[in-house]
Amino acid sequence: MKAVRIHKFGSKDALKLETVPIPEVGESEVLVRVNAAGINPVDTYIREGSFAVLPTLPAILGKEAAGVVEKVGDGVQGLKEGDRVFTCLPDNGGYAEYVTCKKNYVFPLSERLSFSQGAGLYVPYFTAYRALVIKCRIKPGEVLLIHGASGAVGIAALQLAKACGVSVVGTAGTLEGMELVKSLGADFVFNHKEKGYLNNAVAAIGGQGFNVVLENLANINLGADLTVLNQQARVAVRIPVVGSRGSVEVNPRSLMLTESTIIGVKLMGNTEEEHLEAAGVILKGIEDGWVKPIIAREYALEEASQAHHDIIHNKGARGKLVFKV
């Protein structure tokens, strides 16, 4: 099969399209013929060797994929050859024509979603669920700021929050991104490149500040996030930090005034029960129609280097990047 592998950690040139054997399916595993594979910022951190958990080399990258069941292990029930599925790949392997995954990490893919959309379910939606529901226990009527709502995680968080009855202010860095965020149901949208946008965001919601701030770029925004917190909230303000690419200066006094909590979020922190809880809500959300990944661009496996460049350097996110395999 064709697969994109790395033999050493390094630049995007370390990504090599190769022919490798199709993996053997274990007893509690499913072999999936991949139609689409999600591309995530974390894939680039792993490729560089800067992520906390690194695979043994050579390694096939890719934390999520969608396709058709090719074969199931003897210990797997409820799935059969030919079923459309999406997969969660905490141990990587999605950038390939076939991938094996553990049985609790493969789920039926509704006809409502394309394979490309199925390849954008695990990292964005399970992360958004972990941040907003498992870690923040967000409630209907609360007001949420999504800093970076135009990317894959931001869109998933926006759709989840609206389904939970939460008011959402989203930010994006381009007009196209702002229009997308608005079209997906955000109550207000602001451009995080414009001066004074946070003051305008607070004014738009009546001046009282936010109950929850989901942060996708904490190294830029965390200090400013602490200035837009709801001072009167009965439940402490929560700031789930999903993304960060460096250090940042904050004034802890704002935390004291609002008794706020900054919460680190790690998708891989899900216990088995939390993972299955998130899966249940997301599967129901697909049927109910609110889980709808937006695909910004599809790449061929041959374009892996370009895809890794774009996921980090493209200005103006408009959803998810995937490989069509």
Ligand X SMILES: NC(=O)c1ccc[n+]([C@@H]2O[C@H](COP(=O)([O-])OP(=O)(O)OC[C@H]3O[C@@H](n4cnc5c(N)ncnc54)[C@H](OP(=O)(O)O)[C@@H]3O)[C@@H](O)[C@H]2O)c1
Smaller CB distance to ligand X: residue 20 or 268?
268
Smaller CB distance to ligand X: residue 31 or 156?
156
**Site residues (vs ligand X, CB under 6 A):** 40-42, 123, 127, 147-154, 171-174, 177, 192, 216-217, 220-221, 242-243, 265-267, 311, 315-317
Smaller CB distance to ligand X: residue 142 or 225?
225
Smaller CB distance to ligand X: residue 86 or 98?
86
Q: How many CB atoms lie within 10 A of CB 111?
A: 7
Residue 134 Cβ, how far from ligand X at the closest point, in Å? 12
Residue 44 Cβ, how far from ligand X at the closest point, in Å? 8
Smaller CB distance to ligand X: residue 67 or 151?
151
Whether the Cβ atoms of residue 188 and residue 167 lie closer than 8 Å to each other? no
Smaller CB distance to ligand X: residue 116 or 150?
150
Cβ neighbours of residue 64 closer than 8 Å, sequence gap 6 or more: 37, 38, 40, 86, 87, 88, 89, 94, 119, 120, 121, 122, 123
Residue 163 Cβ, how far from ligand X at the closest point, in Å? 18
Residue 253 Cβ, how far from ligand X at the closest point, in Å? 23
Residue 320 Cβ, how far from ligand X at the closest point, in Å? 7
Whether the Cβ atoms of residue 256 and residue 230 lie closer than 8 Å to each other? no
Q: How many CB atoms lie within 10 A of CB 8?
A: 9
Whether the Cβ atoms of residue 134 and residue 160 lie closer than 8 Å to each other? no
Task: Tell how many helices (H) and how many strands (E) occur in the chain.
Answer: 10, 16
Phi-psi region of 72 (alpha: psi -120 to 50; beta: other; left: phi over 0): beta
Token output for 164: 């939970």
**Integer Cα distance of 182 and 78 in angstroms:** 39
Residue 61 Cβ, how far from ligand X at the closest point, in Å? 14
Which residue's CB comes closest to ligand X?
Answer: 151
